[in-house]
Structure 1
Amino acid sequence: MRDRITAFLVLLPSLVAVGIFVYGFIGQNLYVSLTDWGKNPAQALAQRPELHFVGLANYRELFTGFVDVRFRQSAVNLIFFTFFFMAGSLGLGLLLAVALDQSPKGEGFFRTVFLFPMALSFVVTGTIWRWLLQPQGGVNVLPTLFGLPPLSFPWLTTREQVLVFDWNQLPFYTALVVGLVFLYVAYRAHREGERKRRLFALLSGGVLLLWAFAFGPRVHLLPYPEPHGFSLALVGVILAAVWQMSGYTMALYLAGLRGIPVEVLEAAKVDGASPWQTYRYVILPLLAPITLSAMIVLGHIALKIFDLIFAMAGLDYAPTDVPAIYMYLLAFRGNQFAKGAAIGILLLLLVALVVIPYLASQLRKEVRR
């Protein structure tokens, strides 16, 4: 009992600090997002502004308001950036790890070279890649070294979009994607023999898919079509982000490859497995926990991305916007603090959707042990 009291007293200052400066400020931010702070310019910067409770009006305006079309494009940009950033970092990191796992000559040198970008800040990376992606220099003039004409791709300055869809289709696509994720969770639960989780995930996925196909196309967020898509100006930003973080995933995968027991690989060879089959059916499944951990870290970074885009494209270029950029513009340039706080809460929810399930699964595994 005495040891417990001592431990509690030692932890108490940290608990109080976290409670005030983390959860207290999150609660304050949530309250501000439910008010009209910033609607009246005369009250925006007042010493004691008069705040009126407006409920979810700020959130509704972000998703359906006429003037917040830039936020909606920034949300689409974030989705595409997160997907391509994670896929590029994981794929390139795995290829580098497999290559280094063959113990080539100069392995230590190459490992250091691949890991070095991770030591840089996103601001430094963004500045370097902004120089490299200048329309009249950098990457575009590389073909001239081989006697070929220079490239003409504008990189960070293009306004072209691909994979364009109507914003009114967002409820349908959201329910479809989440429903498929639940079905995958049900499949994994079935493989692991967890009956309750399988039934819950299967029921949730079925309901979402049924709603998506039965009612999703009829739900319209706006009274008019509003096209959004993957802005090609983000290609350069994705390349820079992948360049920086692929070394991190390489280190994780290399440690995982070196940790696979030799007996397992030899057993696969004895069973007649080809090198490709060994990777497909033995090595990659054993690397699945590492892949999941890397996805959580990369997804967390992608959802909060700000400094890399700030350094590469600035704050005022809409094709490369992400919600964090737009939040900064609304709150600290437009003095619309309530709407900026609402974007902050949305980003917090997105990060929580990524991190909390992972932490819950890890805790569940520890309890089983």
Structure 2
Amino acid sequence: MSARLRRYGPPLLLISPSLILVGVFVYLLIAQNLWMASTDNHTAAQANGRKPIAFVFLDNYLELFKSEAFRHSLTNLLLFTGAFLIGALLIGFLWAWLLERPLPGGRLFQTVYLFPMAISFVASGVVWRWLLNSNQGESASGLNRLFQMVGLGFLQNPWWNHITFGILAIALPAVWQLSGYVMALFLAGFRGIPDDLREAARMDGATELQLYRYVIFPQLTPVLMSALVIIAHMSLKSFDLIMSISKPSNYQTKVPAVDMFVFKSSYDYANAAAVGTILLMIIAVLIVPYLIHQARERRS
């Protein structure tokens, strides 16, 4: 026992502050959220302790999924995540592929593309709210005004006020802001591939297309998976960007994170906690398999 204590005691003592902080501020709060989501705490009287709180188990989740408004929020979240993922990955990869080759002013372009990443979603949301102004015709501003000035008036549209696809307009600033980050990831992946590997493939008679398909792209798979997980989890919990451009009451751009804010603002803590738990489960479904795969690769 004393030998084990001498072996494992110092490392455990070293990481114990982190374990305590994570246990209290992560897992304890998750447990508190799960408990709250299983109660009928829907009113200010219950929140302030003036009315008893009862345990209702999964009723809140069932009521949420029965609600057309919440299903619409989930649909919006799916559309936003799909557009955000595809746009950021494609544009980021394209920029990295272009900058992977020596180009005059390449460093400048890298800085310019990365700059939006340094801006908060709230700040960029304020600017994009003006750019995506829905006014058309004589009162047009932002992008609609630009289309009118260059003779492309037929491209004017209500943007985030569109009755069906308004949430896709919110994906534009998200793609603009995170494409540079994806570019940096892919660029690091490109430059991490040894030149000897490329030269060996060319000496074996591989064309440039075959070089990318069979040598370079397989080497970029870990980078792609990392970018996919990072962008996906950021899109699932998007709140500040949407709130900066739209309004909580705007049905076209509702997502679960906005629903959680609305529930909490009206003292409906149980439904707010239930929405938070649903988001946590969705993120876990995406990230946990990736973490397991990474752990298995490290062992092998």
Q: Calculate the TM-score normalised by the size of structure 1.
A: 0.75
The match for 1:258 is 191
Q: Per the alignment, in what secondary structure is the counterpart of residue 40 of structure 2?
A: coil
Structure 2 alignment gaps of length 5 or more? 135-139
Structure 1 Cα separation of the partners of residues 44 and 290 of structure 2: 45
C-alpha deviation, 1:61, in angstroms: 0.6
- Pairs within 5 Å for 1:166-245: 232-245=165-178
Structure 2 Cα separation of the partners of residues 262 and 42 of structure 1: 65
Structure 2 Cα separation of the partners of residues 60 and 357 of structure 1: 26
| Residue from 29, 50, 57 that aligns with 2:59 | 57
1:353 is matched by which residue type in structure 2? Answer: V
1:347 is matched by which residue type in structure 2? Answer: L
The match for 1:13 is 17
C-alpha deviation, 1:150, in angstroms: 6.5
The match for 2:249 is 316
The match for 1:329 is 262
Kept in 1: contact 2:96–2:184 (CA 8 A): yes
| Residue from 270, 274, 283 that aligns with 1:342 | 274
Residues 1:29 and 1:95: Cα distance change in structure 2 (over 3 Å): same
Deviations 1:316-366 (A, max 9, x none): 101111101001101222x21111111111111111111111111111122
Residues 1:305 and 1:48: Cα distance change in structure 2 (over 3 Å): same
- Pairs within 5 Å for 1:56-95: 56-64=58-66, 68-95=67-94
C-alpha deviation, 1:141, in angstroms: 2.3
1:366 is matched by which residue type in structure 2? Answer: R
Deviations 1:134-190 (A, max 9, x none): 13111122234445546421101110x3xxxxxxxxxxxxxxxxxxxxxxxxxxxxx
Work out whether 1:138 is the aligned partner of 2:142: yes
Q: Calculate the TM-score normalised by the size of structure 2.
A: 0.91
Q: Per the alignment, in what secondary structure is the counterpart of residue 153 of structure 1?
A: coil
C-alpha deviation, 1:236, in angstroms: 1.8
Structure 1 Cα separation of the partners of residues 214 and 149 of structure 2: 43
Residues 1:54 and 1:270: Cα distance change in structure 2 (over 3 Å): same
| Residue from 23, 26, 49 that aligns with 1:47 | 49
Structure 1 Cα separation of the partners of residues 153 and 29 of structure 2: 55
Q: Per the alignment, in what secondary structure is the counterpart of residue 273 of structure 2?
A: helix
C-alpha deviation, 1:277, in angstroms: 2.8
Structure 2 Cα separation of the partners of residues 148 and 363 of structure 1: 52
Structure 2 Cα separation of the partners of residues 49 and 340 of structure 1: 19
Aligned length: 291
C-alpha deviation, 1:235, in angstroms: 2.2
The match for 2:228 is 295
Kept in 2: contact 1:140–1:150 (CA 8 A): no
Kept in 2: contact 1:315–1:321 (CA 8 A): yes
The match for 1:279 is 212
Deviations 1:197-252 (A, max 9, x none): xxxxxxxxxxxxxxxxxxxxxxxxxxxxxxxxxxx112221110000000011001
Q: Per the alignment, in what secondary structure is the counterpart of residue 156 of structure 2?
A: coil
1:344 is matched by which residue type in structure 2? Answer: G
Give % identity: 43
The match for 1:304 is 237
The match for 2:137 is none
C-alpha deviation, 1:267, in angstroms: 2.8
The match for 1:223 is none
Kept in 2: contact 1:249–1:294 (CA 8 A): yes
Residues 1:355 and 1:25: Cα distance change in structure 2 (over 3 Å): same
Structure 1 alignment gaps of length 5 or more? 162-231
